[in-house]
Structure 1
């Protein structure tokens, strides 16, 4: 927290990241709630889940592209502006006379494009944070950003659930668009201030990845291979993240199909509660995990994660929210 309080540029940069994340959650709740009311809800929810899942396949490409980007601040601002335009378009479509299914397909496509851009934008964040706080404070800054980000996500899900009671789906799309616009302006503000510091600018130029994609993957693989057991952990954790990620779509469909046992109050509130539980876990893990688990081996943590993952899947298949 110290680095957040004492470093103004990092503080503004973090707020920009939090804003775009919170806006995304508001729109996700609205869009899922809208789709759940369609006659063929399972297909609609599946389309949304696909539009949310496919961009995760591009993380490695997005990270590589981000490493090769010379003007990272310019591109992170440009990404935010493009996403502002995309979700502004979604807002106008929601007040148009398009049929419900055409609307779901087009907005799912918009969401897909936006999230792919988001994978690239996300790859730009870490090197920029290093430039803002320095390598010595990066671990503290990254942990704090992740933890506080999840707390803000929890708040956004509660707020989104409440806003759906008196705001339209289009209004929430416009709010999401505005959060990206404000985030882009804040990124630009930090970028202009950092540009004035020639030392930081030259340091950023030195960290450009000049290797092609295949060479970069080979180099990363060789580095990971040198650490005993690291590749195994990476593959297991990737499988865990994949199964938990796909469970979001499964939960959404199971909720609608089993309203009597899976819904608390209403659909959007239940979706928010599930997201809040997951966000609380991520926040607690980011903030307290390194301290609590520093004497526990990564293998033990991974095995525990596998057991909990299996329990979570069984709980969903039982189709009882409690």
Structure 2
């Protein structure tokens, strides 16, 4: 948190990212509500879900493009693309007034997808500034943890704000599109004050690259190099595999919990909706607090050990869902499982920042992100499949067994691999 207040340029980048997120979180919820009001709402909601997944398919390409963008163009592209995003949503505000046909809805979806792709690309460009402006692994981890924590807060607050405003403003969808457009414009303008420093950083890096006579790599070569970096670094490779396991279980957790709670009133806290919301809020708060306070003593605990804590907590969560069925234990184990997650991603990304050169930075991060999300659909298919074909209790038994296996692997990795976190103060 201290980095945010002492490093003015990082603060400008963070503020830009926060403004970008505020409008996006608000409008994404509103757009889902809009889809549910259409005559073809089932198709519309399904298309929204598919469209939300589309940008993740291009993460590696976006990372490669950001790495190979000439530094002298970097600030101009970040600023101009923020403006383009704003203009896209001003245009959307007019289009969304039209009669709700499938053609109009597809156009609106395309605007959202294009905006998300632009957002990912500019975020990758900003990642290069973060590497230049922050010093050392500890500062990387602290700064990235703070950013992740604030983004979680924005997600929670603006989803709640959006849900309330959409009712108070009587589904005024064009107004929300305009608000989102202004958020993108502001996200660009907050960088203007420090533009000379950003341009200087770009020119300095351009000079360094010119002296090295570096040639632009093809997508195949660039991706191959990024994959090689991940594979050859044992610490990073192990954590990517463990993160994929955590993600496989974590993305199935919400659906599996909802399926059991729908037919089991013993675990309810008030009602079904309030119980689901309570679990989500507890998990989000634990992750947020963990990310905001990176120096809480756990900075000396290895990443595999933190993963093991999460997995063992999920085993306890599964046991409670099947047999004990205590709402208090349910919320407690969810908090215990979530807290280490808030530290894993910033620390892993900090390791990458400190080890990977700028030419392959965002491509490497994109490769890791892609690998970790691949298990999500598989986890949902397996666990929700068991819940529907047999029963939810058996699905939770399978979930607990898989969590235990991943936890045992994490413990073995924690014991056998050197703890690089010892160098973090």
Q: Say whether residues 1:158 and 2:175 are aligned partners.
A: no
Report the equivalent of 1:109. Answer: 110
* C-alpha distance in structure 2 between counterparts of 1:185 and 1:238, whole Å: 37
Change (3 A) 1:247 1:111: farther
The structure, 1 or 2, with the larger RCO (C-alpha pairs under 8 Å, 6+ apart) is 1
Q: CA deviation at 1:276?
A: 5.5
* Alignment correspondent of 1:46: 46
Matched, 1:284 2:286: no
Pair 1:84–1:97, CA change in 2 (3 A): same
Quote the residue 2:359 is aligned against.
none
CA distance in 1, matches of 2:283, 2:176: 22
Offset from partner CA, 1:173-198 (integer Å, 9 cap, x none):
11001100111122344323433xx4
CA distance in 2, matches of 1:86, 1:276: 32
Q: Deviations over 1:56-85 (max 9, x none)?
A: 121111111111112221111122112112
Give per-residue Cα distances to partners, 1:111-149, cap 9 Å, x unaligned.
111111122112112111233344463332222222222
Residue of structure 1 equivalent to 2:26: 26
Q: Structure 1 stretches of 5 or more lacking a match?
A: 265-269
2:224 is the counterpart of 1:221: no
The residue aligned with 1:149 is: 151
| 1:262–1:201 distance in 2 versus 1, CA, 3 Å | farther
Superposed CA deviations along residues 154-173 of structure 1, whole A, max 9, x for unmatched, are 22222212211222111111
Counterpart of 2:198 in 1: which secondary structure? helix
The CA deviation at 1:287 is 2.4
Structure 1 window deviating more from structure 2 (107-116 vs 130-139): it is 130-139
CA RMSD of aligned residues (A): 3.7
Q: Is the 8 A contact 1:30 1:169 kept in 2?
A: yes
Report the TM-score, using the length of structure 2 for normalisation: 0.61
Note the C-alpha offset of 1:277: 5.6
- CA contact under 8 A between 1:74 and 1:188: conserved in structure 2? no
Is the Cα contact below 8 Å between 2:252 and 2:384 reproduced in 1? no
Instruction: Map Cα deviations across residues 202-224 of structure 1 (whole Å, 9 max, x no partner).
Output: 03653688432222222223322
Residues 229-256 of structure 1, C-alpha deviations (whole Å, 9 max, x = no match): 64353245246547756889x79x99xx
Count of matched residue positions in the alignment of Structure 1 and Structure 2: 305
Quick check: 1:144–1:287 contact (8 Å CA) kept in 2? yes
Q: 1:102 to 1:244 in 2, by over 3 A?
A: farther
Tell me, in whole angstroms, the C-alpha distance in 2 between the residues paired with 1:23 and 1:203: 32
Secondary structure of the residue aligned to 1:164 is helix
Give the TM-score normalised by structure 1. Answer: 0.78
Q: What residue in structure 1 maps to residue 196 of structure 2?
A: 192
- State the alpha-carbon separation in 1 of the partners of residues 215 and 145 from structure 2: 25
Residue 20 (structure 2) pairs with residue 13 (structure 1):
no
Query: Contact between 2:74 and 2:202, CA under 8 Å: does it hold in 1?
Result: no
CA contact (8 A) 2:142 2:294 kept: no
After TM superposition, give the deviation of residue 36 of structure 1 in Å.
2.4
Pair 69,134 (structure 1): closer, same or farther in 2 beyond 3 Å: farther
Alignment correspondent of 2:353: none
Paired with 2:41 and 2:9, the residues of 1 have a C-alpha distance of: 44
Once the two structures are TM-superposed, the CA of residue 263 in structure 1 deviates from its matched residue by 4.5
Give unpaired runs (5+ residues) of structure 2.
Answer: 264-270, 319-333, 335-379, 393-425
Question: Do 1:94 and 1:169's aligned partners in 2 also have CA atoms closer than 8 Å?
Answer: yes
**1:62/1:278 CA distance change after superposition, 3 Å:** farther
2:237 aligned residue (231, 234, 254): 231
Secondary structure of the corresponding residue to residue 115 of structure 2 = helix
C-alpha distance in structure 2 between counterparts of 1:285 and 1:247, whole Å = 20
- Equivalent residues of 1:131, 1:204 under 8 A apart: no
Rounded to whole Å, the distance in 2 between the matches of 1:156 and 1:209 is 44
| Cross-structure match for 1:267 | none
Distance 1:169 1:12, change over 3 A: same
